[in-house]
Amino acid sequence: MLTRTFESIETWAENLGRLWVERLQAQPDIRICLAAGNTPVPVCEAMVRAYRAGDASFSKATIFALDEYGELAPDDSGRCANMIRRCLLDHVDLPAENFYELATEEENLDQVCADYDAAIGEGFDLAILGIGLNGHLGMNEPGTSVEATTHRVELHPASIQSAAGYMNGGEPPRWGITVGMKHLLAAKEVWLLATGQAKAGIVAQVAQGKPTTDIPASLLRDHPECTLFLDTEAAAML
């Protein structure tokens, strides 16, 4: 795992945006697994600027939402897929059929997971992920097997608390569906993103501790093409 640290969130996002543009230009049909939440938003905004400047096109790309909350209507603003739409997809030229999301509103969730695994197929060219305060990746909570594929998960209390911030005052969901560790570890390239002082402790454990399923993000330390992208606050304990 490589580590790159930037002086501000602005320079962090602009550098990640440039790298993303390079990947799109080199491989227009790139297959990306993309996290929702607050951390990737500045990077997605940089990509929207690149698209508007004519430097990037998503017309042949495919994007998979990393995870999705249960208990939310399809049009709920707190859904992960809708967060990705607001910060990126509503503003670029990705064809609607090239965006895959997890239909947690369906009754047969086993089939939803199986269909997602089938769509993932040979895997991701790039996974853009955040780090949870407990070290989770997506909704792969501590203790998740490295062999897990797309699956339903009961959220850790820390993850429920985090989800509450996206619910506009409503009750946070207590379960979700996530792409599993098997797919994330098999991605050809992984960008692990973290910003802010609150992430400094878990970043230190991920970057310096022993890889363990108790801290799912730490399992990426042995990935041959994983880079940890930090601002100075998130890197404060390294």
- pLDDT tens-digit series, residues 17-31: 999 999 999 999 999
User: Residue 4: which pLDDT band, with cuts at 50, 70 and 90?
Assistant: very high
One of 67, 68, 101, 189 is an active-site residue; which one? 67
What residues contact 62, with CB distance under 8 A and at least 6 apart? 29, 30, 31, 32, 98, 99, 100
Active site residue 156: no
Task: For residue 41, give the H/E element and its range.
Answer: helix 41-52
- pLDDT of 36 above 80: yes
* CA proximity to 131, closest of 21, 1, 229: 229
Question: Which of 101, 136, 223, 231 is labelled catalytic?
Answer: 136
Instruction: Given the residues 15, 38, 98, 134, select the one marked as catalytic.
Output: 134
**Model-level pTM?**
0.97
Kindly indicate the confidence band of residue 158, based on its pLDDT and cuts at 50, 70 and 90.
Answer: confident
Give SS3 for 228: strand
CB 234 within 8 A of CB 203: yes
Rounded Cα–Cα distance for residues 215 and 219 (Å): 7
Q: How high is the pLDDT of residue 20?
A: 98
Cα gap 117→146, rounded to integer Å: 15
Active site residue 140: no
pLDDT reported for residue 170 = 81
pLDDT value for 27: 98
Catalytic residue among 141, 151, 189, 223: 141
Q: Note if 67 is an active site residue.
A: yes
Cα–Cα distance for residue pair 144/171, rounded to 1 Å: 25
No. of helices (H) and no. of strands (E), the chain = 7, 10
Tell me which amino acid residue 87 is.
Answer: C
Q: Is 154 a catalytic residue?
A: no
Q: Could you say which of 3.40.190.10, 3.30.360.10, 3.40.50.1360, 3.30.830.10 is the CATH number of the domain covering 2-231?
A: 3.40.50.1360
- Asked whether the predicted pLDDT for residue 200 surpasses 90, the reply is yes
Angle between helices 9-26 and 41-52 (to 10 degrees): 50
DSSP, res 80:
H
